[in-house]
Chain A
Amino acid sequence: MTSELDIFVGNTTLIDEDVYRLWLDGYSVSDAVALRVRSGILEQTGATAAVLQSDTMDHYRTFHMLERLLHAPPKLLHQLIFQIPPSRQALLIERYYAFDEAFVREVLGKKLSKGTKKDLDDISTKTGITLKSCRRQFDNFKRVFKVVEEMRGSLVDNIQQHFLLSDRLARDYAAIVFFANNRFETGKKKLQYLSFGDFAFCAELMIQNWTLGAVGEAPTDPDSQVDDMDMDLDKEFLQDLKELKVLVADKDLLDLHKSLVCTALRGKLGVFSEMEANFKNLSRGLVNVAAKLTHNKDVRDLFVDLVEKTPLQTPGPRKWLPRAPTVGVSLKAGREYLPT
């Protein structure tokens, strides 16, 4: 006796959150069943393994049918085939677009191309995330990238509008798209200690301050409406950064800069005293990195350079400055202190 066909269709589509997670994590039906058995569900409910198998298959089939709609979340809202309460719809979308920290660190700043997709095997082996899940996450990145690539307006807003993600997740995707577009190198060993959150923080500040969109908002330049406002760095701005050398060369300016920065940051920074003590070295390193950003290669290596060529790292990464906030502060400072 074998089951040829076994289905369950509810007027309201049943979504089992646990099974959804297993499906998203890329487990096969048999692995998912094994994991569910291990979770003790059989003892709790008195069900048999066959029931669990049938239930898992059923959910997997539903998710498979829903996946097509999840690729364009607004479709999920308007479709008529699956009656799903709005709260569940939101959950489906949010979970589908959620990603693993370990995975995103591997592909952050890489070109979202076929070539990278081929490397997913290695990433899967390295991170322990199933290949299927890696593919889903990669395809999500790529899909979001493709949709918002050519759009005007705020990157986060565009993502939110077209993928109905939560604010938090939309910001993360903005960072991923921004990094992918500018191809910042993040994979070097020296950068491993930085988390995705650190980079996302940087990305947000850079989008706000370094991009064409940021310039566009400035009243001085109202005409420069370029398509990818939030995605591309403002070339002119990078050019202007060369001028910052004066901050290191001129002693008076250095002192003035120091006092201004220290006034601005006093009380806001846990490592303020160290920063104050090391200000000269710090400033020199930053300015040197900033001055080189006219070359694409150097732009890509921005984060490597920030870590390698500024004393941010010393005397020991864990102890003080080097976390993102400081990098961010320096990034932000860039525009504020540009000589006019």
Chain B
Amino acid sequence: MPGKLKVKIVAGRHLPVMDRASDLTDAFVEVKFGNTTFKTDVYLKSLNPQWNSEWFKFEVDDEDLQDEPLQITVLDHDTYSANDAIGKVYIDIDPLLYSEAATVISGWFPIYDTIHGIRGEINVVVKVDLFNDLNRFRQSSCGVKFFCTTSIPKCYRAVIIHGFVEELVVNEDPEYQWIDRIRTPRASNEARQRLISLMSGELQRKIGLKVLEMRGNAVVGYLQCFDLEGESGLVVRAIGTACTLDKLSSPAAFLPACNSPSKEMKEIPFNEDPNPNTHSSGPSTPLKNQTYSFSPSKSYSRQSSSSDTDLSLTPKTGMGSGSAGKEGGPFKALLRQQTQSALEQREFPFFTLTAFPPGFLVHVGGVVSARSVKLLDRIHNPAFVGIMGNTRSYKLLDWNSFNSDEPETRDAWWAEIRQEIKSHAKALGCHAVVGYSESTSICEEVCILSASGTAAVLNPRFLQDGTVEGCLEQRLEENLPAGCGFCHIPYDELNMPFPAHLTYCNNCRKQKVPDVLFTTIDLPVDATVIGKGCLIQARLCRLKKKAQAEANATAISNLLPFMEYEVHTQLMNKLKLKAMNALFGLRIQITVGENMLMGLASATGVYLAALPTPGGIQIAGKTPNDGSYEQHISHMQKKINDTIAKNKELYEINPPEISEEIIGSPIPEPRQRSRLLRSQSESSDEVTELDLSHGKKDAFVLEIDDTDAMEDVHSLLTDVPPPSGFYSCNTEIMPGINNWTSEIQMFTSVRVIRLSSLNLTNQALNKNFNDLCENLLKSLYFKLRSMIPCCLCHVNFTVSLPEDELIQVTVTAVAITFDKNQALQTTKTHAEKLLQRASTDNEELLQFPLELCSDSLPSHPFPPAKAVTVEKASPMGEGNFRNRSAPPCANSTVGVVKMTPLSFIPGAKITKYLGIINMFFIRETTSLREEGGVSGFLHAFIAEVFAMVRAHVAALGGNAVVSYIMKQCVFMENPNKNQAQCLINVSGDAVVFVRESELEVVSTPQPAASCQPSCTGGEVTT
């Protein structure tokens, strides 16, 4: 009996009128947890009942505490007939189960009904008394913290980053059970909501167990998804990164806190000698010998990869003068060897993080992705038959345990894809995948599973124990040049996995870098960027014949490689057009529909100073004899050149001129080259590899040989830049902007278009889709014009194809205002930029960029005192004073809750994480017209979802949700029947934040304390 849950129902307000005769309601409340139910008294004739109930006490296992939601039902008492339900509130009590989070849940919750929406509010108080349980075989994992944030949460420090955790559970979808034919839509919806709530609780508990097994205490970058497979069932799956986190209670306690937990971690299974000496030395001569001895290990890793035979491994001979490349080699190899030993312990060396502690990320290889087309079969689970009709028919069944002997399980499918990703990463000379994510697209019985990430070489010290104490010093001795290290190639230039064009790093001039870099992660904090970034999207549609089962899957598998190729080409073209050379946060989504496939890739383009200047785009015609045609071509060429020039100006890309003598080798013509390794496989496991390098062309040339190509070039030029004062990106931080004010506006926008004609061509389809996205962006810019100068951050597009001729695009993003005047002054020096960008992070992160600065730029020594003044004078402080949003009014009882998809709140400091918010709602209507049509229906529903998220956060004592994401928005309509249904799944981290201006007033010694570590840093370097 390890837990006692206590619930008190205080009052209700704004209840709907349930009795037409009196225009009043006789309300009472049922409180249910597990199989126990309590009831309050009936409060007669009131729309604002005051129940003030006793404490309802549930004595339960902590396993149930983790799985089950608290279910509160408000009903209208009826003497003669059945009591009418007004609505429900589901409360996830997980945040109460670990000590550092919330201690009580108390507040007004919207009473939600799946048919009527929000109907009044109820005030509830929930507490949990948890008894210590020393049972070693326990099934619960209370105490493991979960974070949606894909970086180390701001008030924590990563002691060890253990690695990948995943789990999935499967169940029958109540919507497709036989009982659904006889029950009301409300009952069906509620069954589904409850089931998913249970399933996610169970999933979280199981992941927690895995984390405890790894001796971690938290999951960061937790991403949970639902696959609504229809007839074949409901899959809830989650991935995350297990970590051992250490709370930074205050900056002063930083160093002592560093020691205590590491002692506990001595038993960690990764016992390889971390060989700490090697960290201190850079590419020195003795190590060179070691390099060669390690090179076999590398080739070994290649051979072990299953798909390497298909990779285009052709090395570009005669490239790179060799000597300098070798210089960088030893260190790389050494690191690789160490990391490898740490990582090979793991089945999948994957990390769902997109931003990392300083020094964690050593090299980035490129994007790796894998897709697989599967046919969904009914999940035939014998256990279901037995418990059908039982009151606990939603008791969850673990797919894994039941199907360990079945090869075609969801688990096996994912394992297969992950294996592929792993081998791709190996082919790139990398031993880990960061910024890893998984997704699915389902249409009828066909399912595309996708996984993608960024192959990377990591610093092993975060992955092992025993090196924690010296972390500060070690980082200081790090000899990698600041701001370009991650760009250096991790693979052997003489044996490249694909034809690539390498040059010397523009920053350190010592090591080789590729000409273009694609990644799925956020821009590293210490990266040197020239100018600003921008959102780059590739959009593509492909018609597909309608087919059934096997034939359909084959058709899709055949189309996928072409789509990937074209998406990639589009991205590359648009990147060149923007005069940029790297993509961050790349996310390629392939959506399958009845008669088409859609591809949408979003990324943030930047100009990395370390990478070579991108060349222009040249157009070549195929019919040279036609005079007018030639003229047309040259006209197009001019237009493209003009666009590039304009973009350079717009994004302030003015790279310093590099004279050729300094480098010692000529800057070769830029070449089209791919950093994307991918494969498509269908059920038969057939693997196809693509060479995306456009053959062996030496110049980046677009050939116009038919009208299709013409269209492509045209579509390149149709992308309109955002109006002045607007920037957009899909990463956390906009490269080149760092002076955010505190004004933020998170929003969700949904658009559905109906394609007009039935005999559509690919071109028309592409144009429609392109227009849809462009118009949506234009609308956003217009709507948010009052926030100028502003940047749309974390722009997240999702495409779905709900019906034959419908395309749905959902966008969630946050608009943040920045201070324009300061933006103009901040581009002076690299060091200054670093400082300012670092100031957006918490103190912990602040230290390291500072050190790196003093390391790499000895000509700009920054005494710690100056660092403090910079922080004090950081524009965000001023932004607070300019904050136009009025403070909560005295007569308003509703506190403001901010929501943002970012992991931070500009101009504020997150002081506490209260727990994960993971909510699933269904809304249905049978009076679509009366509710304002589809737009009115969905608008109201999304507003209600926001309201419920805010209410839960407020009840936990929080004032913001960070890393907010709308993972699913499934909308179905039947206008003829006047019906519509929508499912929404959202998640995020509930937090408490304090404005920086308030912080300064409250605790003046804080900046001084925070500077302490950097003081020591300064001493070591000098």
- Listed in ascending order, the chain A residues whose CB lies under 8 Å from chain B are 1-14, 45-48, 50-52, 54-55, 57-58, 61-62, 64-65, 75, 77-83, 85-87, 89
Contact = CB atoms under 8 A, between A and B. Distances in A.
A11 B118 contact: no
Interface stretch (B505-513, B566-574, B701-709, B751-759): B751-759
B754 A4 contact: yes
B110 A3 contact: no
B934 A83 contact: no
A12 B782 contact: no
Given A6-B935, A55-B779, A77 B894 contact: yes
Contacts of B894: 77-80, 83
A11 B898 contact: yes
A85 to B, nearest CB: 5
Interface stretch (B627-635, B945-953, B992-1000): B945-953
B782 A51 contact: yes
A57 B751 CA distance: 13
Given A1-B768, A45-B723, A61 B946 contact: no
B746 A7 contact: no
A262 to B, nearest CB: 48
B792 to A, nearest CB: 12
A204 B897 CA distance: 43
A78 B14 contact: yes
A61 B808 CA distance: 20
Interface stretch (B245-253, B329-337, B863-871, B881-889): B881-889
Nearest to B890: A86
B771 A1 contact: yes
21 contacts: A1-B772, A4-B752, A4-B934, A5-B935, A7-B749, A7-B938, A8-B779, A8-B780, A9-B942, A10-B746, A11-B745, A47-B778, A47-B782, A61-B939, A65-B943, A77-B891, A78-B894, A80-B110, A81-B946, A82-B947, A87-B889
Contact of B938 (A5, A52, A65, A85): A5
Interface in B115-145: 118, 121
B30 interface: no
Nearest to B749: A8
Given A47-B778, A57-B935, A8 B747 contact: yes
Contacts of B388: none
Contacts of B751: 3, 5-7
Nearest to B898: A11
Nearest to A72: B14
Nearest to B900: A11
A45 B782 contact: yes
B436 interface: no
Given A4-B752, A47-B778, A55-B779, A9 B747 contact: yes
A184 B485 CA distance: 85
A73 to B, nearest CB: 11
Residue with the greatest number of chain A CB neighbours at <10 A, chosen from B888, B940, B942: B940
A1 B754 contact: yes
B440 to A, nearest CB: 23
A51 B889 contact: no
Contacts of A77: 891-894
Interface residues of B, number: 59
Given A8-B747, A46-B723, A83 B886 contact: no
A48 B778 contact: yes
A1 B892 contact: no
Contacts of A48: 778
B304 interface: no
Contacts of B936: 61, 64-65
B778 A83 contact: no
A51 B932 contact: no
B802 to A, nearest CB: 10
Contacts of A2: 753-754, 756
B950 A78 contact: no
A57 to B, nearest CB: 7
B932 A64 contact: yes
Interface string B930-971: 001011101110111011001100000000000000000001
Nearest to A53: B779
B603 to A, nearest CB: 24
B897 A86 contact: no
Interface in B1-47: 13-14
Closest 3 CB pairs of A and B: A86-B889, A5-B752, A10-B747
Contact of A1 (B755, B899, B971): B755
Interface of A, secondary structure class, is mixed
Contact of B943 (A1, A6, A82): A82
A14 B944 CA distance: 15
Contacts of B808: 5
Contact of B783 (A1, A8, A79, A80): A8
B775 A9 contact: no
Contact of A50 (B775, B781, B940): B775
B313 interface: no
Residue with the greatest number of chain B CB neighbours at <10 A, chosen from A8, A80, A83, A85: A80
Contacts of A9: 747-749, 939, 942-943, 946
B785 interface: yes
Interface string B759-781: 00000000010011001001111
B885 A7 contact: no
Contact of A78 (B13, B782, B899): B13
A81 B944 CA distance: 6
B779 A54 contact: yes
B806 A80 contact: no
Contacts of A8: 747-749, 779-780, 783
Contacts of B947: 80-83
A46 B923 CA distance: 37
Nearest to B951: A80
B356 interface: no
Contacts of A89: 889, 892
A250 B750 CA distance: 82
Contacts of A65: 936, 939-940, 943
A89 B746 CA distance: 19
A89 B940 CA distance: 19
A218 to B, nearest CB: 34
Nearest to A41: B782
Given A2-B756, A4-B754, A61-B936, A78 B896 contact: no
A28 to B, nearest CB: 15
A81 B746 contact: no
B747 A83 contact: no
Residue with the greatest number of chain A CB neighbours at <10 A, chosen from B779, B898, B938, B947: B779
Interface in B676-733: 723
Contacts of A75: 14
Given A1-B771, A61-B939, A77-B891, 16 more contacts: A1-B754, A4-B934, A5-B750, A7-B749, A7-B935, A9-B747, A9-B943, A55-B783, A61-B935, A78-B13, A78-B893, A78-B894, A80-B121, A80-B894, A83-B946, A86-B888
Nearest to B764: A1
A155 B702 CA distance: 77
Contacts of B504: none
Interface string B466-482: 00000000000000000
A287 B57 CA distance: 77
A48 B939 CA distance: 23
Nearest to A12: B745
Contact of A7 (B775, B886, B896, B939): B939
Contacts of B14: 75, 78-79
Contacts of A3: 751-753
Nearest to A57: B935
Contacts of A62: 939
B350 interface: no
A119 to B, nearest CB: 29
A167 to B, nearest CB: 15
B164 interface: no
A2 to B, nearest CB: 5
Contacts of A47: 778, 781-782
B108 interface: yes
